[in-house]
């Protein structure tokens, strides 16, 4: 029998934050244009930043799928992952999403998006990661609490 509330109770979906701030950056750039790097430099830098996601986000997603646990935070976590990129970050998928966000803002020459990055990270931590940590602590107990002592939240 499935437990209906067996998932973290997030304040907001993380994708809403990333997309919302990205769209806000585009709107603000149209209203109050800030200078940025030349197009070719911005595009090369943006692609490089997004490609760095290959070290964090994609291997983390692959690990979740191999462990048969859902990457969707509105579904139950069935396995606590402690290997692969999870050895370096408790949240490698959010590190990866943040790299994609920063890379895309750079590629699209949206300096407002870069300026929003600390706010995005703060909100992801407060509204997404902390509820997930509470859920994982209640579900996996001491195993998660020991892991939390050893591995950093971000990187």
What confidence tens digit (pLDDT) does each residue in 51-107 have?
Answer: 999 888 899 999 999 999 989 888 899 999 999 999 999 999 999 999 999 999 999
Is residue 23 one of the residues assigned to a domain?
no
Is residue 18 one of the residues assigned to a domain?
no
Is residue 107 one of the residues assigned to a domain?
yes
* Contact yes or no for 120/21 (Cβ under 8 A): yes
pTM: 0.93
Could you give phi then psi for residue 6, rounded to 5 degrees?
-80, 70
Spatial distance between the Cα atoms of 49 and 146, rounded to a whole number of angstroms: 31
Spatial distance between the Cα atoms of 155 and 92, rounded to a whole number of angstroms: 8
Report the number of distinct structural domains present in the chain: 1
Is residue 14 one of the residues assigned to a domain?
no
pLDDT number for residue 4: 62
pLDDT number for residue 55: 86
Q: For the segment 8-54, what is each residue's pLDDT rounded down to a tens digit?
A: 889 899 999 999 999 999 999 999 999 999 999 999 999 999 999 98
Q: Mean pLDDT throughout 115-135?
A: 97
User: For 75-79, 116-120, 132-136, which range has the lowest pLDDT when averaged over its residues?
Assistant: 75-79
Range(s) of the domain holding residue 126: 40-150
Spatial CB neighbours of 111, under 8 Å, sequence gap ≥ 6: 25, 29, 34, 35, 36, 105
């Amino acid at each position: 029998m499935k437990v209906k509330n067996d998932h973290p109770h997030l304040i907001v979906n993380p994708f809403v934050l990333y997309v919302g701030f990205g769209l806000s950056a585009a709107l603000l750039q149209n209203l109050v244009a800030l200078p940025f790097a030349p197009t070719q430099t911005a595009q090369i830098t943006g692609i490089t930043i997004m490609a760095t996601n290959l070290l964090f986000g994609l291997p983390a997603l692959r690990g979740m799928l191999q462990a048969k646990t859902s990457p969707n935070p509105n579904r139950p976590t069935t396995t606590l992952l402690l290997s692969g990129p999870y050895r370096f970050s408790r949240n490698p998928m959010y590190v990866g999403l943040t790299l994609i966000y920063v890379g895309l803002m750079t590629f699209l020459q949206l300096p407002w998006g870069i300026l929003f990055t600390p706010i995005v990270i703060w909100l992801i931590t407060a509204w997404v990661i902390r509820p997930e940590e509470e859920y994982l602590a209640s579900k996996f107990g001491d195993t998660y609490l020991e892991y939390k002592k050893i591995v950093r939240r971000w990187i």
